[in-house]
């Protein structure tokens, strides 16, 4: 089969890596990169580190408001699909790229498969929530990472074409675990931190970066900790901090965005992970590092139910309390499959459309 994978943002490149390898054993794959993330630290480095084939099309859409960005993507992806005439289109996750890829395909009557289907935060103020809902409702194949995700789809009346395959990011993490263990001996000394003696923080969601008061509360809460905070800073967050004159304390070590393997290394050896990223929540859980989520909701409720993730929002008190609480003793379980999700997706697409 001739399949088009549409990606454009850091978490989608991570999901694409194991799926692309599995697909290419039996199918033809065309990769379309919308350019939603265009900074090399958020894009090119992932293709190199994870040995993802170079995109067949790079659309260069870049930044913009949600409507403008999605609209530009929609038109550009449509042109590619008309030219390529694929048997199906695969979209990943919940970004504007996901929405544009799904809509462009379904408007051309090309079947859509959604990898990471069924996730819900139940917060429609998040653009990601709208993107994932629309993608699920136009897709004909829905690959769920967990049973909880399948139940969400069933609650919305979506039962045909649904399959729980496990989580493709879990697949990849298992594949690179030896590499991240080896990287620590060089990476941690370079940042002047020791294992389990620092906090790792990431902030990039609009709800935090576009709200100066929220961003200021979070940065000040991190600065008040009694240990170093390693903070790989997203370009959007750096811009927001400069614009609103938010100056971090010396305890916060701002570093440029890091590659996938370095990020996993920093997660694995942190005392706590503090983030507003859905993917980082899940990675911390898998690696056995307690997580503090800078949101009031999550699309990964399994991590909260297991007591390995605390939803703290932007409250300095809640953030500090969550960071300082003892590590949970509850077993984490294995809600994300057996590490073969990508293979199961590729095999399922043998029978599609």
Q: Which residues are known to be catalytic?
A: 204
Strand intervals (E) in the chain? 2-7, 28-33, 57-58, 88-92, 112-115, 141-144, 162-164, 199-202, 229-233, 252-256, 272-275, 291-293, 309-311
Residue 45 parent element (H or E): helix 44-49
The residues, any chain, with a CB within 8 Å of residue 138's CB and separated by 6 or more, are 102, 103, 106, 112
- CA dihedral sign of residues 336, 51, 190, 38: negative
3-state DSSP helix/strand/coil % of the chain, to nearest 5: 50, 15, 35
Contact between 322 and 312 under an 8 Å Cβ cutoff? The reply is yes
CA distance linking residue 28 with residue 69, whole number of Å: 28
CA distance linking residue 246 with residue 216, whole number of Å: 6
């Amino acid at each position: 089969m001739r399949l088009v994978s549409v990606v454009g943002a850091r978490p989608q490149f991570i999901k694409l890596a194991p799926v692309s390898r599995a697909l290419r054993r039996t199918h033809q794959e065309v990769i379309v990169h919308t350019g939603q993330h265009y900074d090399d630290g958020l894009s090119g480095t992932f293709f190199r580190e994870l040995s993802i084939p170079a995109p067949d099309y790079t659309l260069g859409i870049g930044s913009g408001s949600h409507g403008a960005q999605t609209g530009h993507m929609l038109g550009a992806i449509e042109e590619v699909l008309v030219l390529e005439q694929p048997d199906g289109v695969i979209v990943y996750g919940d970004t504007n790229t996901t929405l544009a890829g799904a809509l462009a395909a379904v408007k051309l009557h090309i079947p859509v498969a959604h990898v990471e289907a069924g996730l819900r935060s139940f917060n429609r103020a998040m653009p990601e929530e709208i993107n994932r809902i629309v993608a699920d409702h136009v897709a004909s194949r829905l690959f769920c990472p967990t049973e909880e995700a399948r139940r969400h789809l069933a609650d919305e009346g979506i039962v045909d074409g649904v399959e729980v395959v496990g989580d493709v990011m879990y697949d990849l993490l298992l594949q690179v675990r030896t590499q991240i263990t080896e990287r620590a001996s060089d990476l941690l000394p370079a940042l002047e931190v020791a294992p389990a003696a620092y906090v790792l923080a990431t902030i990039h969601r609009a709800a935090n970066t576009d709200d100066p008061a929220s961003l200021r509360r979070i940065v000040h809460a991190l600065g008040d900790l009694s240990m170093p905070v390693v903070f790989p800073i997203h370009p959007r967050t750096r811009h927001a901090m400069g614009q609103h004159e938010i100056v971090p304390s010396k305890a916060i070590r701002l570093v440029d965005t890091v590659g996938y393997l370095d990020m996993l290394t920093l997660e694995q050896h942190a005392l706590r992970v503090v983030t507003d990223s859905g993917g980082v929540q899940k990675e911390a859980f898998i690696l056995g590092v307690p997580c503090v989520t800078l949101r009031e909701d999550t699309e990964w409720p399994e991590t909260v139910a297991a007591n390995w993730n605390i939803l703290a929002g932007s409250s300095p008190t809640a953030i500090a309390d969550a960071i300082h609480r003892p590590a949970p003793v509850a077993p984490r379980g294995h809600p994300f499959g057996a590490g073969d999700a990508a293979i199961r997706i590729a095999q399922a697409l043998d029978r599609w459309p």
